[in-house]
Structure 1
């Protein structure tokens, strides 16, 4: 499988990343380990987790995904075969360190927990799961309002967080750092602070990207182009929405929707989903593979994070890396995007 480099780090990763957030809730440990084994056999060396996972986040399953991965490392002794990415939570979940915002103290505490659960002494890519300040991710764009925040306090916190991450890089506990669910302003602030103070540089940004959610094509794509930051695109199938399994009011048992976590679903997204399914059928393609292949074709994409709750889904999603979309399909995608550019 083709490898791509994370920013300016020199760290090479497979262009498909194994996402793990269902492990511990929708998937058992045995199923998670089977996914890791299969992914390795297919040339995948990149795996992504977080202290929050399994999802939907709750106290009973928090950290379970990292524990499952750590148990695989313990049983197989092949930690070096993986580029391991994990995250510290942003504020808001009371069962994770009291829901406190990220600062120097919380980064130390969170990282110690990550490392213990994962059974390793270093993480290759450590990411800030979401900002302390207001942001428009997780379907918050309709009500997003950045005004009224203490600007100096926000800026001071960004520097404190970056300094704390830099200290962990220097200590050898982290190889590289990244952001997630960030904005153009936030990413540029971190890059500017790193240059000004000689601190570790954000290598990646993990934001949502799919046929149904393409906000990244604008300002953030420009930042990545000029600043050598790679996108780790998550939810390339909009949490399964693009497959069509939620169309016409359906909520299949065992799905994210059945767990009450399908906040992406709305009348606009269903209309667009049906159009993409029709396009895929017209060209004899699997719509999920078409969606992942499109994400992989984007010039700012460092790796696409896939997630599956069964092996058939995993096989289909991974195989998408071999698909090159014909010009007619790409043209059709752009026509649909112009009709339904905002499905959030």
Structure 2
């Protein structure tokens, strides 16, 4: 009795039959006990969650529903191929009327639930299935498309698909010369706690990047809007928007860098190059940089004393005040 109660508690049952005395009392009554039938209904409902079970039972509302409950339970044990003859043979309406048969039923349903949960947890998502439509699965699909993995391989489990990817990557890297790729930047194996700290740091950097990017994009929008103030811009406003808007849509404030980029980073990614160095300028220079402006640089203006129309001049306030503002003269002393 204690083992059955312990098994029920381990399965997550929190009803009144967790107590050994209540469990024994309800098991003696069998199908006539509402608590016993409610426990059996809970076990069957949990089985339906983790398996493809079809049959179902309902808890009773009194002893008068005992026969109906036993008929429903007969369909459940037959579907589960119960090996206990005491629960599958004999009169259906008399199977759950004694303590031994009821405890045997609870043990059978509990062990079936344990096995179904273990099998459900061991199931792995399949590449290309609806259940495997997660971010990680999508990343694996993109890797496979980049490596030229055939589409018929998208129906295999993730573990097998990972082995196929590993073999394909090893085949490609073996054909490359040693000088074409360097060692990975991350050479140590991180512990789970270190990965959690790294993930927190990554989230902080993403937030800082988004904040800075929003500021730059806002400044960019304000600068572009200032060009629309001129008279010529009013005529060419549609053409300017045609050129500007596709470029503006390409500016995203969110970063696409994730933990996978860290694992894929190589040693040369950590080298800092000066943007003005000759080696770096070989890849960044363009024909615009070679244009040399001759003569004096045009004056951009903007001095306040040269703005037209001229600044307004302030005149001295007239003596005598505002004329009819008598409230301001009540407390003034008369001059002698």
TM range (shorter): under 0.3
Query: What's the TM-score, normalizing by structure 1?
Result: 0.18
Larger RCO, structure (CA 8 Å, separation 6 or more): 1
Normalised by the length of structure 2, the TM-score is 0.18
**Where is the strand percentage greater, Structure 1 or Structure 2?**
1
